[in-house]
């Protein structure tokens, strides 16, 4: 569920790095660079990138804005198609039988099999409905903190990667130790934190 929902899951990051040139121009360039588009890849993902948080079909940002106050709000949309292995197997058997009959050969070479599978996958991809995943993110540019609306490791990895590609900035997960370093005011406390060992609550 997105940020507009009543209940939202948040994973928090610190943004590391500096944008080059004018801040808002660099953001605009990053959004344009990472906007949702079809991609050529051998994997399951057929399209991905930033869309509006208001409307996941708007990736030209003509109607919707992505700057909200001091915040940059975007959705990362990932469209993927996964052909079920058994479906691929059915089509492969049918097509290889036809090819063998045509050529009079007894079996396909491994190269031919691979080529046939790739061709079938590509053709089946166009017949299947993609699965569409939408993950919202809100970047508080004044604080340098990003809230990402999903906890799963796979989604986070894709998001961190796409953020880096778009803006050239690194996201550091604000795990307790890293947040603690930020919250502590003195170097003496930060040094004590570094030396800290687990304690036991067992009586």
Partner 1 sequence: MDFLEILKQKAFLGREFLTWLWFKSEQSGGRVELRGDSVVEVIFLNRLTLDLSEADTPQSVTIKGEHSELREGLAALREGKKIEETRVSLRGSVNEFTLTLKGTWLSFGSLRTPPALPVDEAEPEDEWEASFLEKISLVEEGIGLVDALFGHFLKLRLSPNWETHELPAIRAWVAKGEPVLTGPQ
For the segment 138-157, give every residue that binds partner 1 (CB under 8 A): 138, 140, 147, 151
172 is a site residue for partner 1 (CB under 8 A): yes
161 is a site residue for partner 1 (CB under 8 A): no
Pick 31 or 53: Cβ nearer partner 1: 53
Pick 116 or 178: Cβ nearer partner 1: 178
For the segment 28-67, give every residue that binds partner 1 (CB under 8 A): 53-54
Rounded to the nearest 10 degrees, the angle between the axes of helix 23-33 and helix 153-167 is 120
Q: Of 114, 52, 124, 54, which Cα lies nearest the Cα of 88?
A: 124
Q: Which residue has the tokens 């940002």?
A: 61
Give the per-residue contact string, 109-138, with partner 1 (x = CB under 8 A; - = no). -----------------------------x
Token pair in block for residue 105: 């050969």
Phi, psi of 138 (to 5 degrees): -125, 125
Asked whether the beta carbons of 56 and 35 are under 8 A apart, the reply is no
Give the per-residue contact string, 5-24, with partner 1 (x = CB under 8 A; - = no). -xxxxxxx------------
Kind plus residue range of the DSSP H or E element containing 177: helix 176-183
Q: Of 60, 26, 47, 62, which Cα lies nearest the Cα of 134?
A: 47
183 is a site residue for partner 1 (CB under 8 A): yes
- Site residues, partner 1 (CB under 8 A): 3-4, 6-12, 53-54, 68-69, 71, 73, 138, 140, 147, 151, 172-180, 183-184, 189, 192-193, 196, 198-203
């Amino acid at each position: 569920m997105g940020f507009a929902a009543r209940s939202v899951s948040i994973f928090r990051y610190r943004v590391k790095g500096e944008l080059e040139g004018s801040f808002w121009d660099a953001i605009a360039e990053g959004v344009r660079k990472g906007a949702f588009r079809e991609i050529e890849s051998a994997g399951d993902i057929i399209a991905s990138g930033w869309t509006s948080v208001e409307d996941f079909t708007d990736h030209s940002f003509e109607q919707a804005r992505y700057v909200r106050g001091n915040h940059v709000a975007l959705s990362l949309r990932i469209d993927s198609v996964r052909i079920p292995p058994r479906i691929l197997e059915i089509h492969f058997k049918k097509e290889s039988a036809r090819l063998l009959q045509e050529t009079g050969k007894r079996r396909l070479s491994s190269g031919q099999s691979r080529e046939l599978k790739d061709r079938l996958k590509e053709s089946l991809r166009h017949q299947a409905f993609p699965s569409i995943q939408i993950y919202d993110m809100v970047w508080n540019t004044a604080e340098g903190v990003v809230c990402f609306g999903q906890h799963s490791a796979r989604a986070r990895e894709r998001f961190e990667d796409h953020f880096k590609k778009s803006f050239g900035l690194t996201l550091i997960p604000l795990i307790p130790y890293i947040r603690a370093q930020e919250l502590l005011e003195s170097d003496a406390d930060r040094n004590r934190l570094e030396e800290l060992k687990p304690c036991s609550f067992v009586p």
